[in-house]
């Protein structure tokens, strides 16, 4: 067993925020910086960095925003960026604080779980936005996101998943 000696690394994040663009970018940067700090500044190409936003803040992607923002157009999303030559993948999970991002009877945590399923699987099947999507532009989990109805299993919130094998939305293989 050899201890690994790593050189300290300095990383600078630029994080813009304003009433117009919201705090989403800052919150994402803080979460990523924290995670990179723990991993000595080394981004892992095989990791999907899951970023959760607290109630009262929202994320923005261009002019589109999540719950709480001025242009509600999505509940959560995944994306990627290049950092030191590493393709970093992340999922942005804002608080599901508006009715358009909640499923009837689900708790806040279960609504989060619904989106974790969705965005994490898509970050795997379409990590850079150029892999798995259908002719309508739907990624794997867009096809079954709200229909059939999201469901609970052992208390956790899930959505149905598209299966190429079954050519249908399925709960389990």
- Residue 157, preceding bond cis, omega within 30 degrees? no
- Closer to Zn ion by Cβ: residue 36 or 112: 112
Rounded to an integer, what distance in angstroms lies between the CA atom of residue 39 and that of residue 32? 11
165: helix, coil or strand?
coil
Residue 139 C-beta: closest distance to Zn ion, Å? 5
Residue 143 C-beta: closest distance to Zn ion, Å? 9
Contacts 24+ apart (CB under 8 A), 147-150: 149/103, 150/103, 150/106, 150/114
Chain contacts with Zn ion (rule: CB under 5 A): 122, 139, 141-142
Closest residue (Cβ) to Zn ion? 142
- Closer to Zn ion by Cβ: residue 36 or 60: 60
As a whole number of Å, the CA-based R_g of the chain is: 17
- Closer to Zn ion by Cβ: residue 97 or 159: 159
- Closer to Zn ion by Cβ: residue 113 or 122: 122
Residue 138 C-beta: closest distance to Zn ion, Å? 8
Residue 141 C-beta: closest distance to Zn ion, Å? 5
> What beta strand segments (E) does 101-155 contain?
151-153
């Amino acid at each position: 067993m050899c201890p690994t000696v790593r050189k300290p690394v300095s990383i600078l994040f630029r994080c813009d925020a304003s009433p117009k663009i919201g705090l989403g970018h800052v919150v994402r940067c803080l979460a990523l910086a924290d995670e990179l700090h723990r991993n000595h500044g080394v981004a892992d190409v095989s990791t999907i960095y899951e970023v959760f936003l607290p109630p009262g803040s929202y994320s923005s992607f261009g002019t589109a925003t999540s719950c709480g923002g001025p242009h509600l157009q999505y509940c959560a999303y995944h994306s990627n960026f290049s950092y030191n030559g590493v393709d970093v993948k992340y999922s942005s999970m804002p608080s599901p604080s508006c009715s358009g991002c909640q499923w009837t009877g689900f708790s806040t945590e279960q609504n989060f779980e619904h989106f974790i399923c969705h965005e994490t699987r898509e970050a795997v099947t379409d990590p850079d936005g150029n892999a798995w999507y259908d002719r309508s532009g739907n990624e794997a989990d867009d096809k079954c996101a709200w229909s059939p109805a999201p469901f609970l299993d052992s208390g956790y919130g899930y959505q149905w998943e598209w299966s190429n094998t079954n050519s249908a939305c399925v709960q389990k293989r």
